[in-house]
Amino acid sequence: MAPLDREPPAISCAKAALLLLGICVPSALILISTPKSGPSSVIRYAWIAVVPFIARHLLVQLSGVTTSYVLNTVAMGQLCLVLMQSCNFLVLTRLDTGDFVKGNTYQPSDGLVHKLWGVIGLMFNLRGIGTPWQISRINAVPQSLDKHIENGKLRKGPWVARQLQIIFWQYLFLDFTYLSSLDTSPEDAEKLFGPGKEFLYVNANAEQWGARVAVGLISWLAPARVTMDIVYRVLSVVSVLSGTTSPEDWPPLFGSIWDAYTIRAFWSVFWHQHCRWFLTSVSNYICRDLLHLHRPSRLERYLNIALVFMGSGLVHVMLDMFCWEPSLKAPTLAFFGSFAVAIMIEDGVQEVWRRIAGVVDSKNVPVWHKILGYIWVSTWLTVTSPWYLYHAVRQPVEVKWLVPFSILSLFRPALANGLWVGGGLIIKYIVGGEI
């Protein structure tokens, strides 16, 4: 529900910041001062009932911080996860002061402000980096930075310089992406992405299939990834330069595209992991605490996976309601839920292959296996992604800008293309960027 009468962005940002503090500070106070169980813990559940009302006002403000629905959605998504993480700490993971002391979030002798700072910081640390709760499969530091390690620590200067160079190129890439979208006329957009086209398969022509590949595959590999990654890198530079964190606290947000030869690896290795801690806490609570499913078992494993993807779908539906306002919610849920089915299929196929071929070591994956895997992942994304993305593609270009000021439009097209392509080659082969 993007506001019709937009307030100045500064006002929206200020109100959003106050509302965010209005959730995080009380949540941190309750976490610090109440036990995880027993009669005194009832205040945790009472506060959880209040959070959605404040969160709704927060999302309304965030939906108006810019005129770009894309950037608003990124901001809303990150902060929405922070709020969900606070709820996770309160009633699912159920952390209390003993856990925070053991996890070195703070010490008993610290003042209240320091304790609040530590707990709120943990809420924003969505992957639990550097804590006992750190999620698995955190991406390793790029090899190009190995030469800048002293006494086991990354040198701040080279790390910041590398981040800034990548940020500049990512800005150019997003600039190019938006400028390219302006070349599609409303008539062509209607023909390629009009209502119902996301479900068109048998009767789709070559041009419509090309559009499906562009949106359903390429957008995940580049524009969507870069849009989130550039925000992460900007925040990392600000945080490190301010002295509140170190480079080690900011491992790469995305993994290598070359590892995405299964659906499972696409989401667990290549894609960002900001949702994992919260969503797995929810799924584990349902499967283990409520249903008491035997672990390990196939039922527990695949129900966990299905709940994680459906939870992700519900989060995205909620965000879309405040920005993109899709008329139908089911396609988004179907898109995210489909990946649980895809993982079951690929697990079954791989298990059959291991039995037939007698393969024991699954770590040494042959090249042909990876090639088939890339085809499989690409096909699934191409077939299903339009269910989720086409509604956004149909929106006016005026609400989908990606950078506040266009640098490439200052140059002739050939020079502009040379600038961002050449910059990408420099990042890859000189700076040490990883794909």
pLDDT surpasses 50 at 1: no
Beta bridge partners of 149: 154
DSSP secondary structure code for residue 258 in this structure: G
Q: What tokens appear for 297 in the block? A: 């078992």
What DSSP string describes 311-341?
Answer: HHHHHHHHHHHHTT--S-SHHHHHHHHHHHH
**CB 343 within 8 Å of CB 370:** no
Highest mean pLDDT among 118-122, 134-138, 415-419: 118-122
Q: How wide is the angle at C-alpha 56 spanned by C-alphas 81 and 268, nearest 5°? A: 20
Residue of 66, 59, 57 whose CA lies nearest to 10: 66
Residues facing residue 154 across a β-bridge: 149
* Cβ pair 287, 307 in contact under 8 A: yes
| pLDDT at site 295 | 87
What pLDDT is attached to residue 4?
Answer: 45
The residue ranking higher by pLDDT, 280 or 433, is 280
The mean-pLDDT minimum among 230-234, 327-331, 347-351 falls in 327-331
Query: What is the DSSP code (8-state) at residue 88?
Result: I
- Average pLDDT on 352-365 reads 79
The CA distance from 86 to 23, in Å, is 8
Torsion angle defined by CA atoms of residues 424, 430, 434 and 435, in that order, rounded to the nearest 10 degrees: 30
H/E segment holding residue 86: helix 69-87
pLDDT at residue 361, as a whole number: 64
Name the pairing type of β-strands 153-154 and 149-150: antiparallel
High-pLDDT (> 90) share of the chain, %:
73
pLDDT band at 6 (very low <50, low <70, confident <90, very high): low
Position 231 scores a pLDDT of 96
Per-residue pLDDT of 379-433, as tens digits, reads 999 999 999 999 989 888 889 999 999 999 999 989 999 999 999 999 888 887 7
0.85 exceeded by the pTM? yes
From 198, 225, 196, select the one nearest 211 (Cα to Cα): 198
Cβ(142)–Cβ(434) below 8 Å: yes
Judge if the upstream peptide bond of residue 108 is cis by omega within 30 degrees of 0.
Answer: no
Residue 328 pLDDT: 73
Least confidently predicted of 74-88, 167-181, 359-373, 407-421:
359-373
Token match 């190009």: residue?
A: 144
**What local confidence, expressed as pLDDT, does residue 2 receive?**
46
Which has the minimum average pLDDT: 15-29, 32-46, 318-332? Answer: 318-332
Average pLDDT over residues 312-318: 94
pLDDT digits (tens, 9 = 90+) for 232-266: 999 999 999 999 999 999 999 999 999 999 999 99
Partners of 173 in the beta sheet? none
**Across the chain, what does the average pLDDT equal?**
92
User: What is the model's pLDDT at position 428?
Assistant: 87
Lookup: tokens for 141: 């530091």
- pLDDT higher at 206 or 325: 206
Tokens of 368: 């042909």
Domain boundaries, the chain: 1-124, 135-435
Strand, coil or helix: 313:
helix
Tokens 């008329």 correspond to what residue?
327
Predicted local distance difference test score (pLDDT) of residue 29: 98
Give the type of residue at 120. Answer: I
Q: What is the pLDDT of residue 389?
A: 92
Look at residue 165 and tell me whether its pLDDT is greater than 50. Answer: yes
